[in-house]
Amino acid sequence: MDFSQFKTQFPISLDTQQETAVQTVDGPVLLLAVPGSGKTTVLVTRLGYMRYVRGISPERILTMTYTVAAARDMQARYAAFFGEEEAQRLEFRTINGVCSRIIRYYERTFGRTAFRLLEDGAQKSAIISELYRTQSKEFATESTVKALQTALTYAKNQMLKGEELSAVEVEGVDFAAFFAAYGKVLRERQLMDYDDQMVYALRILRQYPAILRDFQMRYQYFCVDEAQDTSKIQHTIIRLLAGQSGNLFMVGDEDQSIYGFRAAYPQALTEFDTVYPNAKVLYMEQNYRSTRQIVAAADRFIQKNHNRRPKHMKATQGSGPAVRECSVYDRQKQYAYLCKLAENCTEETAVLYRDNDSALPLIDRMDRAGIPYRCRQVESLFFTNRVVRDITDIIRFARNPNDGELFLSLYYKLGAGISKVVAQVAADRAEAEGETILGYIAVSSAASPWTQKQCKALQTHMNNLLRERADKAVYRIVHFMGYGDYLKERGGDLTKADILEALGEQESTPERLLDRLEELQEVVQRGGTDAGCPFVLSTIHSSKGLEYERVILMDVADGLLPKVLPEPNAEQEELDAYEEERRLFYVGLTRAKRELGIMTFRKVGLESSFAREIFPLETGRAVQPMAAVKKPAVRKEPDAARIAAVAKDYIPGIRLMHKAFGPGTLVSRSGDIGVIAFDSGDTKKIAVSVALRVGQLRRE
């Protein structure tokens, strides 16, 4: 059978680039496929071509995918084209699955028993939790365990050693020491985790040439899907296996490499023809998914990345609506806008965001309003995050100021310079002395005058935050009670506090926020109201490989998406991280088939460098709302309104500097009149907005 007969027998329609990829079988081949170019169809067709045209035995072909689900899907796609019986003769495996076979072959060859695979997630979490507690002296939250699991996977997949391990940052631990301790525990218990499967398989292939040779003889052709998501150790194993025949087919797109946190190694694609000198590099640049406007915007954006192959995405679909900038004032307006859109949604619409935290205020609002939606793979780790736990514990302590256990878990996070001894004595004795714990320290001779003063101010804060709206209470805790400084010193994630603050805007008191967080955790775990609902919420990561009629990218602002911007003269690692943020945005853009909207903000501090690339200011473009939702009018605030807005943040407990009277603390406020206790000993009543307008007053 020749290729023409093959295409006739199996009705397959391919473009010129796709046909070239299908027929290029021998030697190392890299196929770079842009979004929506039909790479899975081409890979499956290529397997059929190898069987029916080239007559290659199915036992000689090994196809590797990133996940078990992807392997099953590809086998099903092959069966749909070429029959179930034929599909069963081919091998579709994850790389981990291949490594497991290598280990079992080693066991049979040498009569040895390998370590038992640690499949029990609860057991692995327990080991990590215990090691964390030993090192940090704190209990690990669910989110901490997850962060450590991710770091362990990253380290093993990147094949890190020595100082490289020390450079991995996980809050609360010396990661190099933690990594060594974790490995020791597994060895003592004769266990290996899934990442160890690759570590041990690579070691076997390197130490036992006969085993490597047997696998090289068994398989003559290797196909690797989603190669941009493959890690450094996986590429090393693949290179060893394919070394004998050299028949390696890798398909992927370095522009869609978005799993750097899991050690994805896009350099394997950009350096492919260096590693394999006789390699052929092929391209599939036709996008069959999106309109011309979407393709043009996405391609223009990704061209500015540096670590990539020179290729262009080309549209095959016709024209559609312009890519639209959905401009609102701030994130709260964004949630209101999207709720309105969801209310009237009748066609498939996906709202995409960088991480799950972004969706929580939106889910909160939609749940309150009874608006239907569905979520893809929403995790609830936010609720167990250390920052969230700390802030909610501070609220609980304000409610019960003699809770010694809570105080001892918090006192060193409040910037009051309280020693461990003083904290313990106060926790033990305060209630018996008829004092709150902070009140006890404020008059304790064992504490320094400065600590006494800070504890007195903290007590004022505790009293005041219970009487204010929840978002104000969260803001107070982070910015005026020392907790924000503690986070900055520890490299903690302040964005968690921002999400809490956004959730707090819907609650009249911080205590009500505590109740709502428990309710919301259950709401999130349900994953939406209707599995068939056209309004979909998803992270960009979870949307990869999918497509939607209409896509809206939310939280497009520097610090959110992208999460970070590189500093001038940034190190290469920082530049690489920024390029991945750009790739993530690109993946989000290319999920849209017909309509694409990008949410941006007019509030100072929420500017977007990404949006400015999509919507250059010099084009004179009109900012348009998505669908038929009315855009709020742009108003220039008068000076008086601006001053009034600033004055709202001057809440009791904050530290101030007065031009005439010096530093002090805002003790109370009634309307615009604030009572300030100055460090000089004077107490004065001052009109806050007036003092701000004439430049007499500022935050310390």
pLDDT tens figures, 205-261: 999 999 999 999 999 999 999 999 999 999 999 999 998 789 999 999 999 999 998
> From the CB of residue 295, how many other CB atoms can be counted at a distance below 10 Å?
26
pLDDT over threshold 90, residue 570: no
Q: Report the distance separating Cα 647 and Cα 697, nearest Å.
A: 10
Which residues are paired to 626 by β-bridges? Answer: none
**Alpha helix positions (H), 412-566:** 420-429, 437-442, 449-465, 470-480, 483-490, 495-504, 510-526, 540-543
Position 617 confidence tier, pLDDT thresholds 50, 70, 90: low
Q: Report the distance separating Cα 496 and Cα 143, nearest Å.
A: 12
- The encoded tokens of residue 252 equal 């992927």
> From the CB of residue 369, how many other CB atoms can be counted at a distance below 10 Å?
11
Alpha-carbon distances of 242 from 51, 62, 125, 214, rounded to whole Å? 19, 10, 36, 12
- When mean pLDDT is compared across 3-7, 494-498, 661-665, the lowest value belongs to 661-665
- 10 Å CB burial of residue 599 (0-12, 13-18, 19+) is buried
**Alpha helix positions (H), 552-592:** 572-589
Position 579 confidence tier, pLDDT thresholds 50, 70, 90: very high
pLDDT single digits (tens) 635-653: 333 456 677 778 877 888 7
pLDDT single digits (tens) 189-205: 999 999 999 999 999 99
Q: Report the distance separating Cα 588 and Cα 541, nearest Å.
A: 8
According to the model, what pLDDT value does residue 640 have?
A: 65
Q: For the residues 346-373, what does the mean pLDDT come to?
A: 94
- When mean pLDDT is compared across 48-57, 134-143, 561-570, 667-676, the lowest value belongs to 667-676
According to the model, what pLDDT value does residue 138 have?
A: 84
According to the model, what pLDDT value does residue 666 have?
A: 84
According to the model, what pLDDT value does residue 536 have?
A: 95
More confident residue, 301 or 277: 301
Sign for the CA dihedral angle at 116, 118, 123, 128 comes to positive
What DSSP string runs through 86-143? HHHHSEEEEHHHHHHHHHHHHHHHHT--PPEE---HHHHHHHHHHHHHHHHSSPPPHH
- When mean pLDDT is compared across 212-216, 545-549, 586-590, 668-672, the lowest value belongs to 668-672
According to the model, what pLDDT value does residue 618 have?
A: 44
Which stretch of DSSP H or E encloses residue 388?
Answer: helix 386-399
Q: What percent of the chain has pLDDT over 70?
A: 96
The residue among 626, 612, 551, 536 whose CA lies nearest residue 587 is 551
pLDDT over threshold 60, residue 623: no
pLDDT single digits (tens) 68-107: 999 999 999 999 999 999 999 999 999 999 999 999 999 9
pLDDT over threshold 50, residue 625: no
Q: Report the distance separating Cα 308 and Cα 582, nearest Å.
A: 12
Position 315 confidence tier, pLDDT thresholds 50, 70, 90: very high
pLDDT over threshold 50, residue 580: yes
Q: Which residue has the tokens 């327990």?
A: 126
Position 691 confidence tier, pLDDT thresholds 50, 70, 90: confident
pLDDT over threshold 60, residue 632: no
Q: Report the distance separating Cα 451 and Cα 412, nearest Å.
A: 12
- Spell out a b/e string for 183-213, using b for 16 or more CB atoms within 10 Å of the CB, else e: beebeeeebbbbbbbbbbbbebbeebeebbe
Position 677 confidence tier, pLDDT thresholds 50, 70, 90: confident
Mean pLDDT over each residue of the chain, to the nearest integer: 90
Q: Report the distance separating Cα 142 and Cα 443, nearest Å.
A: 38
According to the model, what pLDDT value does residue 639 have?
A: 58
**What does residue 338 show for φ and ψ, rounded to 5 degrees?**
-70, -35
pLDDT over threshold 90, residue 62: yes
SS3 75: helix
